[in-house]
Amino acid sequence: MRPHPLKVFFDGGCRPNPGRIEVAVVARGVSYLFDDLGEGSNTDAEWLALIKALEVAQSLGEPHFILLGDARAVISQANGVAKCRSPASQTHRARFAALVAMAEPRRIRWIARAQNLAGIALAARHGR
């Protein structure tokens, strides 16, 4: 029987856009918040959230995991379905690919914003 993969949720945002990047990752019911990731756009924030989700999943040592987020464009680019047109996205994609070489997720999947536990954790920081 194949074990159920670990679900790792990710979301990123900026305050304002462009602005200070903040990221949330949720795995095994634990929220990991990162707000020292510099300045950038919402796209940068979503890429950094995906990268942090991969790093968290790898640090947990779980061999079977999926990454779940609500950023369609970034997920499509990470899955190789869409091209990274901006230099920043190309840089993020290269960094992500280097990390994937160490431990690859089973899937990177889009989910609705309302289902994204990381998005909920990020929104809770600001009382939205």
Assessment of whether the complete model's pTM goes beyond 0.85: yes
Domain that holds residue 114: 6-124
Position 65 scores a pLDDT of 96
In a domain, residue 119? The reply is: yes
Domain count across the chain: 1
pLDDT at 111: 97
pLDDT of residue 70: 97
Q: Per the domain annotation, does 1 fall within a domain? A: no
- CATH number of the domain encompassing residue 82: 3.30.420.10
pLDDT along the chain (128 residues), means of 10: 85 92 97 93 97 96 94 96 94 95 92 96 83
Residue 86 lies in a domain: yes
% pLDDT > 70, the chain: 97
Q: What is the rounded CA–CA span in Å between residue 89 and residue 77?
A: 9
- What pLDDT does residue 45 have? 97
| Residue 49, domain member (yes or no) | yes
pLDDT at 128: 55
In a domain, 22, yes or no: yes
H helical segments located in 33-86: 42-59, 72-78
Block residue for tokens 């029987």: 1
Give me the helices (H) in the chain, please. Answer: 42-59, 72-78, 87-100, 117-124
pLDDT digits (tens, 9 = 90+) for 28-54: 999 999 998 999 999 999 999 999 999
